[in-house]
């Protein structure tokens, strides 16, 4: 059995990034622990100062299969191209995958993503995109 992983993004606005990536991956915002109505209730209960309640957010696969994606607030900007990126696979049969990817592109652009370029090579096809904070990912 493999070792489970979590994917972590540095972010200026963790909540906005969580909303975007929940849409991109068909994930959901991670619900608060049992017994709490909100993450704010949980944070207050465990003594996190209120001015730090926005420093983390996360999305999870509703089926419990994919990795958790965590967004942590950082003050600095991204200064170089990210060395690791996500490939967002829209699935479906190869004959309609491009159409499905283009449809998802429209949804993601409406949510703040930017289209950067299309890659069509013998080794594969994808749309290179950037999320609202500039992190690149491939849509295929």
Residues of the chain with CATH 3.30.720: 6-73
Which fold is adopted by the domain 6-73?
Answer: 3.30.720
Question: 140, 116, 113, 126: which is closest to 20 by C-alpha?
Answer: 113
- pLDDT tens for 1-13 read 889 999 999 999 9
| Percent of the chain whose predicted confidence (pLDDT) is above 70 | 100
Does residue 84 contact residue 100 with C-beta atoms inside 8 Å?
no
- pLDDT tens for 18-36 read 999 999 999 999 999 999 9
- pLDDT tens for 106-132 read 999 999 999 999 999 999 999 999 999
CA dihedral 10, 16, 17, 18 (to 10 degrees): 110
Does residue 126 contact residue 134 with C-beta atoms inside 8 Å?
no
């Amino acid at each position: 059995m493999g070792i489970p992983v979590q994917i972590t993004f540095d972010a200026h606005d963790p909540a906005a990034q969580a909303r975007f990536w929940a849409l991109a991956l068909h994930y959901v915002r991670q619900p608060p622990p049992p017994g709490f109505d909100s993450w704010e209730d949980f944070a207050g209960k465990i003594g996190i100062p209120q001015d730090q309640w926005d420093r983390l957010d996360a999305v999870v696969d509703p089926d419990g299969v994919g990795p958790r994606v965590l967004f942590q607030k950082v003050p600095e900007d991204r200064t170089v191209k990210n060395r690791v990126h996500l490939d967002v696979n829209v699935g479906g049969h190869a004959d309609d995958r491009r159409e499905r990817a283009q449809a998802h592109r429209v949804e993601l652009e409406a949510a703040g993503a930017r289209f950067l370029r299309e890659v069509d090579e013998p080794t594969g096809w994808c749309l290179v995109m950037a999320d609202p904070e500039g992190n690149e990912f491939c849509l295929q």
